[in-house]
């Protein structure tokens, strides 16, 4: 069977050889309609670029792989995800690397096939895992390809893989201390669905339990509720908490989105924030500054974390032996909701 070449694709698509090369290597801007036409011809002809030869010549592909692990009901509008993905793209570009993003869904193991093909072709110099929910089995499976790997927002104590993760527990402890200093005595905690907890969720909950115990705050299991990490989840949980006796005078949400839902529900029910109840969030997403009242939260330096993770990956590609686990400090953002 005759091997299809770059020039065959160019002739069929009615473009120059260089245009096809630019599209495959993503080296220059190409009109969307031209890119779509060329990519369609590539699929129709079954053309496979010879990346292996390119890598042998250059020793590097100058491309990083960014892996998201998606649960069945993931939210494409999650501000955390969008901010992290944007920061990774920028950091990779500044390091003179291209970026390929892979979305692996928990209910479709075939999503791994494209990633494995690219690894076998030598198209990726290293991998950055960007989802706290990525299972150990997947990490171990992809480790066998002998590419540098960095974990983001994930810590694996038994692994030598370098990682970067916020000090989630310390952030929650800062919130609890702040609320107790403000005179709050009956604290509640709102997290996501218990079965969906990742390391970050567990660290936030354990930080809350440890801080309340250290400060002698009375707490029963009724004051720990689980939503679904969303705005609507926060709204639904508020009424449950407000029907307790005694009512909580402070509610700590494990993320800002649920906290914004709590604020909305409080407003609809005529509950004053912070006079009747303090409400706090976690993450410091941009919108948290513009709620009514502005949301007290914990700032997580995700952009700095991304920059560290990408630079660590690039350093490993360049031959450095790195196994560090970095716990990134977080900081309190006190606003009017507390």
Q: Is pLDDT of 2 > 90?
A: no
Q: Residue 302: CB partners within 8 Å, gap ≥ 6?
A: 80, 83, 84, 87, 166
Banded pLDDT at 50 (limits 50, 70, 90): low
Range 200-206, long-range pairs (CB < 8 A, 24+ positions): 200/132, 200/153, 200/165, 200/166, 200/168, 201/254, 203/168, 203/169, 203/172, 204/168, 204/169, 204/171, 204/172, 204/254, 204/282, 205/254, 206/169
Cα–Cα distances (Å) from 23 to 20, 53, 200, 322, in that order, read 5, 18, 39, 34
Instruction: In whole angstroms, give the CA distance from residue 263 to residue 277.
Output: 10
**CB of 240 closer than 8 Å to CB of 227:** no
Cα–Cα distances (Å) from 116 to 141, 147, 234, in that order, read 10, 12, 39
Only one residue has tokens 């009901």, namely 73
Give the chain's length. 338
pLDDT score for 56: 47
Instruction: In whole angstroms, give the CA distance from residue 27 to residue 108.
Output: 31
The structure's pTM equals: 0.80
- In the chain, the percentage of residues whose pLDDT exceeds 90 is 59
The separation between CA 167 and the C-alpha centre of its own chain, rounded to angstroms, equals 15
Q: Is pLDDT of 102 > 80?
A: yes
Only one residue has tokens 């110099």, namely 125
Domains along the sequence of the chain with CATH: 6-49 (1.10.260.40), 59-166+303-329 (3.40.50.2300), 168-299 (3.40.50.2300)
Q: Is pLDDT of 333 > 90?
A: yes
Q: Where are the alpha helices (DSSP H) in 97-186?
A: 112-120, 136-143, 168-181
SS3 assignment, position 141: helix
1 burial (CB, 10 Å; 0-12 / 13-18 / 19+) is exposed
What's the whole-number mean pLDDT along residues 84-93?
A: 94
Banded pLDDT at 289 (limits 50, 70, 90): very high
Instruction: In whole angstroms, give the CA distance from residue 269 to residue 337.
Output: 16
Instruction: In whole angstroms, give the CA distance from residue 287 to residue 79.
Output: 9
């Amino acid at each position: 069977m005759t091997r299809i070449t770059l020039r065959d694709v160019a002739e069929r698509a009615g473009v120059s050889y260089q245009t096809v090369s630019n599209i495959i290597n993503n080296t220059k801007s190409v009109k969307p309609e031209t890119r779509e036409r060329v990519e369609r011809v590539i699929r129709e002809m079954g053309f496979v670029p010879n990346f292996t030869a390119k890598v042998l010549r250059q020793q590097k592909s100058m491309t990083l792989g960014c892996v998201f692990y998606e649960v069945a009901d993931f939210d494409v509008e999650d501000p955390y995800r969008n901010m992290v993905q944007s920061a990774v793209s920028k950091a990779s570009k500044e390091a003179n690397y291209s970026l390929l993003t892979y979305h692996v869904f928990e209910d479709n193991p075939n999503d791994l096939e494209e990633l494995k093909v690219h690894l076998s072709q030598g198209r990726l110099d290293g991998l950055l895992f960007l989802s706290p929910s990525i299972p150990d089995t997947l990490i171990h499976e992809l480790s066998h390809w002998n590419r540098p790997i960095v974990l983001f927002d994930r810590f694996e104590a038994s692994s030598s893989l370098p990682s970067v993760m916020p000090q989630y527990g310390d952030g929650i402890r800062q919130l609890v201390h702040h609320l107790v200093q403000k005179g709050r005595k009956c604290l509640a905690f709102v997290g996501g669905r218990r079965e969906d907890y990742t390391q970050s969720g567990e660290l936030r909950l354990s930080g809350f339990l440890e801080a309340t115990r250290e400060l002698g705050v009375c707490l029963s299991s009724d004051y720990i509720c689980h939503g679904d990490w969303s705005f609507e989840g926060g709204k639904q949980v508020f009424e449950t908490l407000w029907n307790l006796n005694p009512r909580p005078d402070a509610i700590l949400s494990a993320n800002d989105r649920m906290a914004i839902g709590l604020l909305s529900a409080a407003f609809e029910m005529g509950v004053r924030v912070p006079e009747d109840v303090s409400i706090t969030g976690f993450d410091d997403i941009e919108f948290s500054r513009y709620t009514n009242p502005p949301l007290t939260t914990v700032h997580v330096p995700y952009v700095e974390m991304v920059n560290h993770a990408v630079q660590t990956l690039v350093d490993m590609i360049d031959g450095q032996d790195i196994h560090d686990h970095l716990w990134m400090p977080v900081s309190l953002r006190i606003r009017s909701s507390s």
